[in-house]
Every structure is written in structure tokens, then in C-alpha cells.
Structure 1
Amino acid sequence: MTTRQKVSFPGADATLTGNLFLPGTDRPTAGVVVAGTWTSVKEMMADRYAERLADRGYAALSFDFTGFGESGGEPRDVENPAGRVRDIHHAVTFLGHHPSVDAGRLGALGICAAAMYMADNTAHDSRIRSLTLVAPWLHDAVVCEAAYGGAEAVAEKIAMGRAARSRFDETGEIEYVPVVSTTDPGAAMPYDIDFYLNPARGAIPAWPNRFAVMAWADWLTYDAIALAPKIIQPTLLVHSEDAAIPDGARRFHAGLAGPRDILWTQGTQFDFYDTEPQVTISVDSAAAHFGRTL
């Protein structure tokens, strides 16, 4: 029977808090680090995937990144790709040293934006033996221009982010906008997205729905597509043509240096966070992939 342990472990700059889901086995088993969308906390989707993986025999760790949720660290709620990759590296260290985990059988699963961060760590961390990316958001400059309204709009957001960063460096004040809003055109996602606005789904008390404007610069200049040729570990992508930026997933998949597979299924981006059958399809596919490769 699956059990859950609240755990804490050191990150680069703060103590990180997570949930470790363990299968009911007496011997060390393969371990998987799990993370979710940008700005998210572990309860929104990472816990769901981690628990389902434990049900299938894996030790799975979900956690809050530095400055988010129950984890320590300042400033709060600032999306920082490089910082998130460092946090994942520390999460892998913690999981690999846990007595319930076989340190020689470690995998990673990233949902949406965490696909980029898990891919980045995997490209530089030989301890990760297998990678699964679910509804992966994988971007570079070309993808960002297509997703955010063209080169001029992207440049404007980058300039806004750099200006906000300068104000933070000078004053310590952080400029926030909503992550999702139907009324604020300055929101990071100014759309009616039920997952993020519905308390029965992602709009939980632990998630403050705020985006630090200074994060735009790091986010929009991050190149995940360039990571693919550096990844030699077996990699599975689970995606849909109706989900976010499928062209980014195709380009990333084509560039992978190691064994690769991609499962095209159906569903919107947000279906993969908490909706059936997308979650079960994704977890079953990930478990089978890890079973073959760990």
C-alpha cells in the first residue's frame, strides 16, 4: 500500500519541502523525482503523478521549489529556470540517499514547464537514468515568439522583466501580476483557464496566483530545445496536438541524442494536470517507460 511522508532536504539556498510517496515494498526500489507547471506548488499536479507512480511500484518525490509553497527561500514566487534546475539536482540527491530507493535506478518526470527543468538537469546529471515529459512545454526563441505574440511582444516582456529586476535589486520590492486572470491584461496568462481559477482544481489556498514580472527575462530567454542533443538517457514524451506548443515537443524529440519515444494522445494542456483519461494514460506510459529503462 502506498504511503506518503512529508520530507525536507537542503537546496542550494533554502530548505525544500516535499512529499515522498513510497510503494509497499520491503526492498529498495527505483525512484522518480516529479515536478509540475510554472509557478505551481506540489499539490496542484506533482503530488498526483507521484502518488500514482508509487501505486505502480516506484518511490516518487514531489516538492516545492525554492520560494514556493512550503519550501523556504526568498524572494517568494519568482519563476527562475536556473534555480529550479538546481533544486531538482538537490531533490535527486535526497532521493538517491533515501534507504527506500535504489540510487542506481533514478528517473525524472516533468509536467508542462518542468519538462524543461527536468531535461536541463538530466542533460548534466548522469544519476538520472530515464526521463519522461508529460504535456511538455519546451521552448526556445522561435517558440516564444509564436506563443507570446511575436518578436516585438517578447522583447517588450523581456524589457519589463529586466526593469522589474532592477527595481528589486535597488529597493527589494517585487512587482507581481496574476498568473491567470480574465480581467487583468497584464497577467502572465490573461485567459479564462478553469484549472487555475477553479478551487476544485488548481486554485488552491497554497497557490497565490501571482507572477513576478522580473521572471519574464529569464523565462523568455531560456532555451530548452538546445538541451535535447545533450540528453543521452532514454526519454519519453506524452503529448497532444491540442496541448501546448506541440511543435516544440516535436523539435525537442527530434534532437534527442539517446533512445527516444513520443506518445501522441488526446486532450488539452490542462487535461494532463488532473483529468481522466489523460492522467492515467500519462502515468501508465511513464511507469512502463521507467520499467523498461530503470
Structure 2
Amino acid sequence: MVERIKVTFDSEGTTCAGYLHLPAERSANPAKQNSGPAGRSAGPAEQDSGPAGRSAGPAGQNSDAAGRNSGPAGRSAGPPGRSADPAARTAGPAEQDADTAGRNSALTATSASGRVACVVLCHGFSGTMDRLFSHAERFAAAGMAALVFDYRSFGESGGEPRQVADVVGQQQDLRAAVAFARRQEYVDPDAIVLWGNSLGGAHVITVAADDPDVVAVVAQIPFNGFPKRVEGRSTWETLRLLSAIGWDAVRGKLGLPPYYVPMIGRPGQLAVAATDEADQHIQALTSGEATTLWRNSIAPRALLGMMRYRPEEDAARLTVPLLVCVAADDHETPIETNRALADRAPAGELRSYPGTHFSFYTDEAVREHVLDDQIAFIHRSLQLRSAQPRVL
């Protein structure tokens, strides 16, 4: 069985919340207090006292806009409240059948000291950690610890205003998560793997480029700059979104509340991503009995910072193996831009899978195939690191 334990850690004065997934043989006592290089000390890792920072409010409806806010791009979404905690309502992960790759990974994921490797997972632009629970469970079933967390101002983590994706701040949150993982007594501090999805895929490359002690990097459908053309978006729709971005940026400079827009919308709607497939994916995520920390609202000012974000420049500085997993028909993070990440990395590897950007979320067969390959890659990387002489 895999055990999920709620944790908090500090990132530049903001309390980030996460969940640590442990393999059965390592799930006894998460131990160390969260003091150290990431900042001020937080509570003990085993605490499960509710959302970090202020309490979460009920997860509101994922409507296109909640509340009103004047501005040139039309009606905006209102400020989102704190999200409910789906993990508290989710049954513990079931024991999974270990295949050969999983068993082999478990063998190499444990060091001579009895400590285990740890995969630190970070999600995409507006994602929340609950969408990565199933991935963390797979890594834990393969004998590794796995840490998922929410970026500042999202999900259960602290930070105001809410739903503001700050590229630099998210990178710092990832560094703080890595520092937290290394301080746990059951984690081998020399066996940390970074795993990122979409925008998180860019962050893991950037952070690992400055952390030579990371063992390996997995970037899944990663962001590597915006495509030259966004399919399905007219010139008028692009101008509306650019207007919303500019207006929100001005409000941020003036210290005013964000001008929120939906993250996902239908074609023709003002939203960061407005496609039928994206809308169908979100409807499935939020319909019926489904519960999620995710909110369909975002401060679009963040897109300005992403326009200048080119992780392929950092990929060239990586000193560890990099696996880039892409979708053959991805229009959000196209294969041609992601290929550059693997090409620039000294030990880069590209793997392509059938489907679109959203197939990695919605197609179980694709998702399981990708995870099998990722576990095998991590296994090889751990073996490679263990075979290298240690420099004292």
C-alpha cells in the first residue's frame, strides 16, 4: 500500500502545502522539522491539519466568470476563493500490481543507508496537486517517495492575490520543495528526481540546471515558449486576450485586484485556452461527483512572463539525464518546440506518444504507457548515479 501524508513547507515566507506519498516499507514516521535552506521552519511533516495558510472555502463552480470586474476585455471572472480539499474525501490509494520495471525500480530506489529516492512533481500553469496524485502513487508503488505540492496562490498553498501564476515564484516553490524533500530522514538527499508537467516541465529543467545534485529530470508535454500560431483562435480573440493581459498587468502594478479570466473556455470565448477538447477535459474533471482543488480562473498577467520564458537555454546546461515526453498531435506544447529541449540537453531523450496534449490526462492507456517509460528511465538514472564515484 501507498501512504499519503500531508506536509507544509516554507517558500520565501509563503506556506506551500503538499502531500508526500511513501512506499509501504518507508511509511512509518516522516521525521524532520521543515527548517533549513528553504526559509523559516514549518510544522512537522506528518501534520494533516487542513489547508496551508487560511482555511479553504468550498470549491466553487467552475463558471466562466464569477463576479464582475470592469475592463476593456469584457466581463472578468471574480476572485476565486480557497478550494476544498479533495484528498480528505479521497480513499487511500489501492495497492498496485508491480510489474517488472516497478520491481527493478524499487531495488535501485533504496540506497545503502536504507533511504529511498524521491520524485518531486510539479504541475502546469494553473494546475493543482490533486491532479498528480495518481502519478505520485505509481512512483511510490515502484519504491520511491513522491512529493506533490501546490504553487503559491493556488490550491491549498498560501499567497495573495489568488490564482496568479508567477514563473519566478513557482521556480522558487519548486526549489523549496526539493529542499524539504532532502531534509526528510527516509529520503536519500542524493537521489532527487524532478518531474514536471506542461509549465512545470519547463520549471524542472530550469531548476535542475542550477542543482547538480539532482539525479534526473522528466519533462512531460513541457512548455518551451508559445507556438507561433495558436490553432482555433481568431485574430479578434487574440486581441481580446492580449487586451485582458495588459489590463490585468496594469492593475497589478497599481496594487488593484486581478482581472480574472477563465483558464479554459469554449471556442470563441475569452479564455486562456478556448478549444472544444480543453473544454471537454475540464467538464469531465469537474462534473458529477468529481472534486478538485482546480479553479477555472486565472490572472492573465502571468502570460507576459511566459512570453520571455525559454527553458531550452537551461536545458543546454543540464548535467543529468533528461527525458522529454511529448504528444504527437499536441497543439498547446507542440512537438517541434519540445524537440529542442531534448536536442539541447547533453543527455536528452525524446519520446513521442499518440494523441494530443490532453491525452496525457484523459487517455488511461497513454498515461500508463508514459508512466512505465518514466519509471524505467528513473531506474536507469539511479543506477547510473550509483555507479559513479562519490566526490567527498
Give TM-score, length-normalised by structure 1. 0.90
Deviation string 1:50-103 (CA, Å, 9 cap, x unpaired) is: 111111111000000000000011121111111111100000000111122100
Change (3 A) 1:91 1:137: same
Does the 8 Å contact 1:13/1:73 carry over to 2? no
Change (3 A) 1:226 1:147: farther
SS of residue paired to 2:190: strand
**Alignment pair present for 1:250 and 2:339:** yes
CA distance in 2, matches of 1:227, 1:124: 9
Structure 2 counterpart of 1:235: 322
CA distance in 2, matches of 1:155, 1:10: 39
Query: What is the percentage of aligned positions where both structures have the same residue?
Result: 25
Does the 8 Å contact 2:118/2:145 carry over to 1? yes
Alignment of 1:1-294 (within 5 A): 1-26=1-26, 27-44=114-131, 46-139=132-225, 143-147=226-230, 160-182=244-266, 185-192=269-276, 193=278, 194-198=280-284, 199-200=286-287, 204-243=291-330, 244-257=333-346, 259-294=347-382
Flag the structure with higher strand content: 1
Change (3 A) 1:172 1:190: same
Structure 1 counterpart of 2:43: none
Give the partner amino acid of 2:339: R
Does the 8 Å contact 1:158/1:217 carry over to 2? no
Change (3 A) 1:147 1:269: same
Does the 8 Å contact 2:117/2:145 carry over to 1? yes
Give TM-score, length-normalised by structure 2. 0.68
Q: CA deviation at 1:13?
A: 3.4
CA distance in 2, matches of 1:233, 1:150: 41
CA distance in 2, matches of 1:273, 1:13: 32
SS of residue paired to 1:108: strand
Flag the structure with higher helix content: 1
Q: CA deviation at 1:168?
A: 2.4
**More moved, 31-40 vs 175-184:** 175-184
CA distance in 2, matches of 1:153, 1:121: 34
Gaps of 5+ in 1: none
Q: CA deviation at 1:15?
A: 0.5
CA distance in 2, matches of 1:200, 1:51: 23
Structure 1 counterpart of 2:64: none
CA distance in 1, matches of 2:235, 2:265: 23
Deviation string 1:120-166 (CA, Å, 9 cap, x unpaired) is: 11111223120011222322xxx443337799998985675344222
CA distance in 2, matches of 1:153, 1:182: 12
SS of residue paired to 1:211: coil
Deviation string 1:195-248 (CA, Å, 9 cap, x unpaired) is: 2222259x7442120010211211222122222211121011122211231111
Does the 8 Å contact 1:13/1:66 carry over to 2? no
Change (3 A) 1:21 1:158: same
Deviation string 1:234-279 (CA, Å, 9 cap, x unpaired) is: 011122211231111111111112x121222212211212431122
Does the 8 Å contact 2:161/2:257 carry over to 1? no
Gaps of 5+ in 2: 27-113, 383-392
**More moved, 232-241 vs 156-165:** 156-165
Give the partner amino acid of 1:165: A
